[in-house]
Amino acid sequence: MARGRVGRVICNGKEYSSQKHPLLEHIFHKYNPQNDTSIKVIPFTLADISEAYRNVNVYSIDKTRNKRRVREPASISNTILDLVRQNRGIEARMPDSLIHLGYDLRKRTGDNLAGEFVYVGVGNTLSSWIVWETNPSRITLSSKGLPNIILDYLRKDEGALFSVIDYCDVLSQVLYNTHGVVVRVQHPLKWQPNEIDGLYIGVIGDVETLFPIEAKALTTRDEINLDQIVGGVNTISLNLHVRVQDIVNTFRDEFYLVEGPGHRERFCGLWA
C-alpha cells in the first residue's frame, strides 16, 4: 500500500504515493493527450499547477479514515522543487503511468515556468544532482573570526552557514587566497519563483564578479539539484542584466564556475 506523510492518496479510485502525482498526470495529458513519446520535452507553468489543483479531485485519507480534499496551497512556487529536492528515485517524483512512458521530471524557471517532462526512455532517469567525490580536496580555514559569544547560539542550519562564511571571510580566502575582497550583498534574495540563498560580490583587478550561493544545511540532507542552480544563475543574469560568465555559483563542499547551461568547472573543495 502506498503511503506518504498524510496516509493514503486517492484520485479517481486509484492510489498514489504523492498528492502531487495526479496533478502531474493531469498536466502531462493536457499537453500530450495521445501519450506521444516523440514529444521529447513538455514544459509547463505555475498556472498549469494552479489549474490542476482546481480541477483534479485528489483526496488524502488518514489512519482514522478521514477523507480530505487536497487544496491548492498558498504558495505553489516550490511544487516541483519539493519533488526533485532530493534524489529519492524516479518513483518518488513521478507517477507510475508517466514512468512507464519513459518520462522524467525536471525543474524549470523563468517565464512563469515551473517544470518540464523530459523523455529519457523507459528504464532511464535524469541525472540532475551533484555526485560528490568520496575524498574531495579540502581547504582548512581558521575559525578565529567567529566571536565566542555567538558559538552557543549558532544553529545547524543555512543561516549559521552564512554567519561562518561572513565572520571567517571564507569566500575571499578560498577563491582568491586573500582577505576582504568578497563581501555579502544580501541573503536571501527573492525573485519568484526563485530564491537565491545568498548573494556576494567580489572585485579583483577591477573585475567585478557576483557569487549567488545555494546553501544546504547538513541536517536537512537536501541534495544539490543542478537545474535549481542553473535557474538561480539565470535569475541573477536576467534581473541584474549581467553576463552568465560573470557569475560564479558556490555550493556546499565545492565551487563551480557556471560558464553556460550544462557547463561547470570545479574550482576546489571547501568544507562540509
Residue 19's domain comprises: 8-119
Q: Which residues of the chain have pLDDT under 70?
A: 1-6, 110, 192-194, 218, 220-221, 242-272
Chain center to CA of 5: 21
Q: Do 39 and 99 belong to one domain?
A: yes
Query: What is the structure's pLDDT at 245?
Result: 57
| Residue 156 belongs to a domain | yes
Chain center to CA of 128: 10
- All three cell numbers of 232, joined, read 538561480
Query: What is the structure's pLDDT at 246?
Result: 61
Q: Do 64 and 160 belong to one domain?
A: no
Query: What is the structure's pLDDT at 129?
Result: 77
- Identity of the residue numbered 208: E
Helices (H), the chain: 21-31, 46-55, 79-84, 90-93, 96-99, 158-167, 170-176, 226-240
- Distance, in Å, from the CA atom of 122 to the CA atom of 130, rounded to the nearest integer, reads 23
Query: What is the structure's pLDDT at 235?
Result: 78
- Distance, in Å, from the CA atom of 39 to the CA atom of 170, rounded to the nearest integer, reads 46
| Residue 141 belongs to a domain | no
- All three cell numbers of 92, joined, read 518518488
| Residue 126 belongs to a domain | no
Q: How many domains does the chain have?
A: 2
| CB atoms closer than 10 angstroms to residue 203 | 11
Q: Do 84 and 38 belong to one domain?
A: yes
- pLDDT one-digit tens code per residue, 132-189: 777 777 777 788 888 889 888 888 788 888 888 899 999 999 888 899 999 999 988 8
| Residue 64 belongs to a domain | yes
Query: What is the structure's pLDDT at 116?
Result: 95
| Residue 129 belongs to a domain | no
What number of CA atoms fall less than 13 Å from residue 135's CA on the CB side? 0
Q: Do 168 and 83 belong to one domain?
A: no
> CB–CB of 81/194 below 8 Å?
no
Q: Do 157 and 101 belong to one domain?
A: no
